[in-house]
Amino acid sequence: MSELAGLDPGTALVIGLVALLAATLSGVTGFGGAVVLLPVLVWAVGPRLAIPVLTVAQLAGNLARVGFNGREVEWRVATRFCLGAVPAAITGSLAFAAVPVGLLTRALGLFLLACVAYRWLRPGPPGRFPLAGFLPLGAIFGFLSALLGSVGPVVAPFFLAHGLVKGAYIGTEALGAAAMHLTKTVVYGRLALLDGAALLLGGGLGLLMIAGSYLGKRVLDRLPAIWFTRLIEAVLIVAGLQLLSAG
């Protein structure tokens, strides 16, 4: 983990500030924080370490959002999503260890650009997304989450199409994400992709993610979420192009 050992104070400060901003955005919009933080981690520690470190940080951030919105969580949705996501996240984590670094970097870039394109080009939902659909949905995105670090922007429309809004949406989606991140953290640790330094960095960022989640909850009902969404989309486009060129 030489990349982590070589972090200078300036780089650590940049990562910390972005983590706080990313968690605040997630606390308001329910998505986007991970993909805002991911390019900074790739720049600082490389793609192979970025996703395991991000996973630890996201685990803390998502648990915080569950806590802040716990009374509004839709447990039937969360349970079905987790039943599909947890075993798929194990499989995806094992596959992640074998993916070439260059290919992974380009895949991350394409993924970020696809998130923006999907949000703008997707057709309107045909109707209420059925409760039974959350189990296979969890399986698909549990696997992809282990490879790409985050699938929040792509998962969000399905939760929204089920009728979840504001705290119910944010808390329920965060619970499903926390289950995936906990699973990935365990597998990454068994595969030696997480050592003490990586856990320390991820845990430190996790504290900032908790603080950001609190700030996001405070402003959720006060500022138009569209402002945050447009900011996220701009960052995703820039970061995706950077990762494509770096790969």
CA 136 to centroid of chain Cα atoms: 19
And the tokens for 177? 């994400």
Considering only 96-110, 129-143, 219-233, which range has the smallest mean pLDDT? 219-233
Instruction: Give start and end residues of each alpha helix (H) in 69-100.
Output: 75-96
Reply yes or no on whether the pLDDT at 34 is more than 80. Answer: no
> What local confidence, expressed as pLDDT, does residue 196 receive?
79
d(CA 202, CA 97): 18
Q: Report percent pLDDT > 70 for the chain.
A: 82
Could you tell me the residue ranges of all domains in the chain? 2-246
Q: Model's pTM, two decimal places? A: 0.75
